[in-house]
Chains A and B, each alone.
Chain A
Amino acid sequence: MANAAIGRSVPRKEGRSKVTGEIQYIDDLSFPEAIYGTVIRSPVARGKILGVHFEGDFPWDEFIKVTAEDIPGENRQALILNDQPCLAVDRINHREEPVLLIAHPNKHLLIEARKHVRIEVEEETPIYTIEDSDAKKEVIWGEDNILKKYRVEKGNVDDVWASAHKVIEGEYRTGAQEQLYIEPQGMVAKASPEDGVTVWGSLQCPYYIQGSLEVLFGIPADQCRVVYAATGGGFGGKEEYPTVIAGHTALLAWKSGKTVKMIYDRAEDMAVTTKRHPSLTRHKTAIDKDGKLLAMDVEFLLDGGAYATLTSVVLSRGTIHAVGPYLCPNVRVNARALATNLPPHGAFRGFGAPQSCFAIERHMNKVARAAGLTPEEFRNRNFLNKGQRTATGQLIEENVDMQGLLTTALEKSDYHAKKARFAKENVGQRIKKGIGFATFFHGAGFTGSGEKHLASTLGMEADRNGRIRVLAASTEIGQGANTVFSQVAADTLKISYDAIDIEKPDTEKVPNSGPTVASRTSMIVGNLVAVAAKQLLAKLREAQLLGDEYTPDQFNSACDQYIEKHGELKVISEYSQPPGINWDEENYQGDAYGTYAWAAYVAEVEVDTLTYVTEVKDFVAVQEIGKVLHPIMAAGQIEGGVAQGVGFAVYEKVVWRDGVMINNQMTNYIMPTASDVPEIRVFFEEEPYAYGAAGAKGIGELPLDGSAPAVINAVEDAMKIDIDFIPMLPEDLFELIESAANNGQGEE
């Protein structure tokens, strides 16, 4: 048999084409006949559209113009609810909302001309904050501005407060965060009533786009073809938003009869596409005299922006992760997503969990202090263990050892020695050093019955030389999907990694293996690869072409003979839910996830008390993620996620003015550079998950949850000050310290 590929760091499948520049992203594909399209957007955040005026000295009759009236099907973005139009008709609900589309063969003329389309609007009062929306200062969505709400109830918190040893309250905020994939979004479309619609693009979820095109054009799915182009990063930013661009580009193509290309520039991409939902979390926690959790009452609020998009699902994940990996007999989580007149917020790696995880991990430090315990001792007394139940009542049946992970992380980071040393050495120094940690978990795959409803399928076919082609809609966005699928296929079939090819996602060629989201691709779709490979072997064995033991050559010859006789060798695998998963969507009770990844992260920081700049100097990430399929790529996922989490904590601030991001440039929205990131040291523990590919759990989103609170807990250690919000930029820390000094808090 060939060398096992799983567990070995084989070369990335498409690696060579990436280092030579050969691989083609959407803007690299050649469509010589294409004309260029763009979007005319709302100049205000809320109001009534009175008219559209084409001004300036432009040959307007040469331009293709598309308004809502040109939409052949329904004017809506088909996602979860039907509240968002593809093009605004009478009302405007956020800045930069698409109102009409124009196209022209001359790109430069198009860019100039778009500035001279004036949308006449009667402005109305917008709302921009969670508090204003919650207080219904203006009702801008439904009857009460509530896009979605959930309630999780375990025991009864209200029975506890009176008799508790201590009750500790806190309020925590997180800001919007831009995904900042380095490749801006873009699409190319061809469309006509005769041939249907075809779009090529930078995207995570081909079948989401197909579903929306069906509605927009009123044509059957098989006339809506979506083709993936190499995608330069997604992080959730290319989960639902590409559907919007695909619709716009296809409408211009449909009306013009021409191929239309629409590539956002960076400024447009940052101003108009989705970001991480801003959050506000209120915690009230009761403990007994031994520092054990008695009750946790959480109010978890998200700013959804102007339309529902995926907000309900983001809120769901944030809600389920809101009390962290802790055991508490009485829990209540009241979660609400509120509408504001900001552009809709959306999917971003972590999907609600980084928001609620920041709150709980800051709050646990505060509660530990009230209990008179160190942060680690307090957590050790309260970690969730095997055989205990989560907030939703899920019985933990896997071998979880949070205390062990934390101990390892503290050892690897030399936490105790450093903490003692910093406390001594910081006195009188301009640079204050600190060390802090966060402990957390992340549910892998879709929540509850999500995977069952998705019912993903995947194809696999062999050619006469025994080369295998995996047919999946899961997209390679840098995370290594192509490589992992190839490893799993190779090892299951006992052939070489090099004998596996991955079909480019194209709805005409690949079945729907589900969206590329939720840390599900390796774990769930990877397992579908294994199932398909077993089906393929079974076919060869049923045909008596292959024995139990075989060489790669015998496998190749078996494929050849099978195809000779039957014409093709192809199988389709289908998802089947692991046994024992029961989820009550109505009451938010039961098995929220098939499995969880568990982690303890330690950050070390230096804070300059003259400039208020926080630098992260060292970072230790310890996690249990099931079987590690590809050690180098798995570490790469964690490192990239930690860097984004560091950005979330101390670099990346979306500055809003009048409902729009005004620092929509890489020059003034600052993500960590090679000079800014700490040394990130990654350690894995492995508890194979029986229903994940070769024992894998999901890992993609995990590192976003705990990185930011670890960093801020370290800043707390350095500065001896409570910081209850992120992003915390130097000016924010300055303001906080000034106001704390005025109120008599703080070190000096």
Chain B
Amino acid sequence: MVSVAKVNFDCTINGEKKTISAYPMARLLDVIREDCELTGTKEGCGEGECGACTIMIDGELVNSCLVPALQADGAEIKTIEGVATGEQLHVVQESFVVNNGAQCGICTPGMIMAALKLLEEHPDPSPDDIRHGLAGNLCRCTGYMKIFESVLAACQSMKQEV
């Protein structure tokens, strides 16, 4: 078998500077879960279909199971662990708890990342915006209704805060 050496690179994860040592083509998902011990990011399918591994790289949503580790070189990464501020839940997280947007919870971290991006792009989303914005994240428990309601309620709360 061909032997490949690990490479070192720097990135920021949830606001914290890190030096990562990883095989260049390792999946970023594995680096995050195993090396950084941030297990909130999940693997549902390993082929970019389910969205359970959704994170943000430089503010863009990606399926971390499809991203080679080296691509994170110099990047700013945000995972579900970086969404709350200390003990204070983000409005979107709070809304998922109150409105039962999380049932089994396995899609929830990815879904919340997608919801954050959605609300960033559409501060006042239409039902179609919400459906479209979350279409890359599969949920088998909720039938999505309570997720839509969680997003809408979060949007209302955010408007009131402004």
A636-B98 in contact (CB<8A) = no
B39-A674 in contact (CB<8A) = no
Does A736 sit within 8 A of B, measured CB to CB? no
Does A414 sit within 8 A of B, measured CB to CB? no
Does A429 sit within 8 A of B, measured CB to CB? no
> What is the CB-to-nearest-CB distance from B85 to chain A, in angstroms, rounded to a whole number?
11
**How distant is the Cα of A292 from the Cα of B41 in the complex, in angstroms?**
57
Given A19-B96, A665-B49, A671-B138, verify A643-B143 contact (CB < 8 Å).
yes
B104-A21 in contact (CB<8A) = no
A234 contacts which chain B residues (CB < 8 A)? 104
20 additional contacts (CB under 8 A) given A18-B97, A181-B104, A675-B131: A18-B102, A19-B89, A20-B81, A21-B41, A22-B40, A30-B37, A182-B50, A182-B52, A232-B105, A233-B141, A234-B104, A636-B145, A639-B142, A642-B143, A666-B47, A667-B47, A674-B148, A675-B135, A677-B144, A680-B143
**How distant is the Cα of A19 from the Cα of B143 in the complex, in angstroms?**
18
Does A183 sit within 8 A of B, measured CB to CB? yes
A477 contacts which chain B residues (CB < 8 A)? 104
> What is the CB-to-nearest-CB distance from A648 to chain B, in angstroms, rounded to a whole number?
13
Q: Which residues of B in the span 138-156 have a Cβ within 8 Å of any Cβ on A? A: 138-148
Given A183-B104, A233-B106, A667-B47, verify A20-B144 contact (CB < 8 Å).
no
> What is the CB-to-nearest-CB distance from B37 to chain A, in angstroms, rounded to a whole number?
8
**How distant is the Cα of A697 from the Cα of B139 in the complex, in angstroms?**
25
> What is the CB-to-nearest-CB distance from B113 to chain A, in angstroms, rounded to a whole number?
10
> What is the CB-to-nearest-CB distance from B129 to chain A, in angstroms, rounded to a whole number?
11
**How distant is the Cα of A672 from the Cα of B83 in the complex, in angstroms?**
27
A21-B80 in contact (CB<8A) = yes
Does B137 sit within 8 A of A, measured CB to CB? yes
**How distant is the Cα of A635 from the Cα of B143 in the complex, in angstroms?**
10
**How distant is the Cα of A480 from the Cα of B43 in the complex, in angstroms?**
23
Contact bitstring A631-656, B, C-beta under 8 A = 1, else 0: 01101100111111000000000000
- CB < 8 Å neighbour of B39 from A28, A231, A639: A28
B138-A479 in contact (CB<8A) = no
In the complex, 11 of the A-B residue pairs with CB atoms within 8 angstroms, ordered by the A residue number, are A22-B40, A23-B105, A25-B106, A30-B37, A179-B140, A233-B141, A266-B45, A633-B100, A639-B142, A640-B103, A643-B144
Does B132 sit within 8 A of A, measured CB to CB? yes
Given A665-B49, A673-B138, A680-B145, verify A232-B104 contact (CB < 8 Å).
yes
**How distant is the Cα of A42 from the Cα of B109 in the complex, in angstroms?**
37
Q: Which of A8-16, A163-171, A716-724 is found at the contact surface with chain B? A: A8-16
A182-B138 in contact (CB<8A) = yes
**How distant is the Cα of A202 from the Cα of B148 in the complex, in angstroms?**
27
B94 contacts which chain A residues (CB < 8 A)? 19
Given A21-B79, A21-B80, verify A666-B50 contact (CB < 8 Å).
yes
A20-B135 in contact (CB<8A) = no
Does B99 sit within 8 A of A, measured CB to CB? yes
Q: Which residues of B in the span 116-134 have a Cβ within 8 Å of any Cβ on A? A: 130-132, 134
Given A18-B108, A479-B103, A674-B134, verify A666-B49 contact (CB < 8 Å).
yes
> What is the CB-to-nearest-CB distance from A29 to chain B, in angstroms, rounded to a whole number?
9
B131-A182 in contact (CB<8A) = no
A675-B103 in contact (CB<8A) = no
Chain A interface residue count: which class? 35 or more
> What is the CB-to-nearest-CB distance from B61 to chain A, in angstroms, rounded to a whole number?
14
Does A461 sit within 8 A of B, measured CB to CB? no
A15-B44 in contact (CB<8A) = no
> What is the CB-to-nearest-CB distance from B103 to chain A, in angstroms, rounded to a whole number?
4
Q: Which residue of B lies closest to A641 (CB)?
A: B143
A639-B143 in contact (CB<8A) = yes
In the complex, which of the residues A477, A640, A680 has the most CB atoms of chain B within 10 Å of its own CB atom? Answer: A640
> What is the CB-to-nearest-CB distance from B152 to chain A, in angstroms, rounded to a whole number?
13
**How distant is the Cα of A342 from the Cα of B75 in the complex, in angstroms?**
47
Does B68 sit within 8 A of A, measured CB to CB? no
B104-A674 in contact (CB<8A) = no
A11-B97 in contact (CB<8A) = yes
Given A23-B105, A232-B106, verify A183-B42 contact (CB < 8 Å).
yes
Q: Which residues of A in the span 272-326 have a Cβ within 8 Å of any Cβ on B? A: none
**How distant is the Cα of A592 from the Cα of B112 in the complex, in angstroms?**
43
B140-A235 in contact (CB<8A) = yes
A231 contacts which chain B residues (CB < 8 A)? 104
Which chain A residues have a beta carbon within 8 Å of chain B's beta carbons?
Answer: 9, 11-12, 14-25, 27-28, 30, 112, 179-184, 230-235, 265-266, 477-480, 632-633, 635-636, 639-644, 665-667, 671-675, 677, 679-680
- CB < 8 Å neighbour of A27 from B43, B103, B146: B43
B105-A18 in contact (CB<8A) = yes
**How distant is the Cα of A232 from the Cα of B83 in the complex, in angstroms?**
21
Given A183-B42, A640-B103, verify A21-B139 contact (CB < 8 Å).
no
B42-A232 in contact (CB<8A) = yes
B44-A184 in contact (CB<8A) = yes
**How distant is the Cα of A604 from the Cα of B102 in the complex, in angstroms?**
27
Q: How many A-B residue pairs have CB under 8 A?
A: 172
Chain B interface residue count: which class? 35 or more
B80-A20 in contact (CB<8A) = yes
**How distant is the Cα of A20 from the Cα of B102 in the complex, in angstroms?**
11
- For the complex of A and B, 6 pairs with smallest distance between CB atoms: A21-B40, A232-B106, A478-B104, A18-B105, A643-B143, A639-B143
B105 contacts which chain A residues (CB < 8 A)? 14, 17-19, 23, 230, 232, 478
Does B84 sit within 8 A of A, measured CB to CB? yes
Q: Which residue of A lies closest to B146 (CB)?
A: A636
Does B24 sit within 8 A of A, measured CB to CB? no
B64 contacts which chain A residues (CB < 8 A)? none
Given A182-B104, A232-B106, verify A266-B42 contact (CB < 8 Å).
no
Q: Which residue of A lies closest to B43 (CB)?
A: A27
**How distant is the Cα of A430 from the Cα of B144 in the complex, in angstroms?**
29
B136 contacts which chain A residues (CB < 8 A)? 673
**How distant is the Cα of A680 from the Cα of B136 in the complex, in angstroms?**
20
B131 contacts which chain A residues (CB < 8 A)? 674-675
**How distant is the Cα of A633 from the Cα of B44 in the complex, in angstroms?**
24
> What is the CB-to-nearest-CB distance from A716 to chain B, in angstroms, rounded to a whole number?
23
B84 contacts which chain A residues (CB < 8 A)? 20
**How distant is the Cα of A87 from the Cα of B94 in the complex, in angstroms?**
47
> What is the CB-to-nearest-CB distance from A266 to chain B, in angstroms, rounded to a whole number?
4
> What is the CB-to-nearest-CB distance from A722 to chain B, in angstroms, rounded to a whole number?
28
In the complex, which of the residues A23, A232, A479 has the most CB atoms of chain B within 10 Å of its own CB atom? Answer: A232
Q: Which residue of B lies closest to A235 (CB)?
A: B140
**How distant is the Cα of A643 from the Cα of B138 in the complex, in angstroms?**
12
A671 contacts which chain B residues (CB < 8 A)? 138, 140
A636-B103 in contact (CB<8A) = yes
**How distant is the Cα of A677 from the Cα of B146 in the complex, in angstroms?**
12
- CB < 8 Å neighbour of A12 from B83, B100, B138, B148: B100
> What is the CB-to-nearest-CB distance from A24 to chain B, in angstroms, rounded to a whole number?
7
B97 contacts which chain A residues (CB < 8 A)? 11-12, 15-16, 18-19
> What is the CB-to-nearest-CB distance from A699 to chain B, in angstroms, rounded to a whole number?
14
B89-A20 in contact (CB<8A) = yes
**How distant is the Cα of A425 from the Cα of B137 in the complex, in angstroms?**
36
A672 contacts which chain B residues (CB < 8 A)? 143
A182-B89 in contact (CB<8A) = no
In the complex, which of the residues A28, A230, A633, A679 has the most CB atoms of chain B within 10 Å of its own CB atom? Answer: A28
- CB < 8 Å neighbour of B45 from A112, A235, A666: A666
- CB < 8 Å neighbour of B140 from A265, A635, A640, A642: A640
A180 contacts which chain B residues (CB < 8 A)? 140
Given A231-B104, A232-B106, verify A639-B145 contact (CB < 8 Å).
yes
> What is the CB-to-nearest-CB distance from B48 to chain A, in angstroms, rounded to a whole number?
8
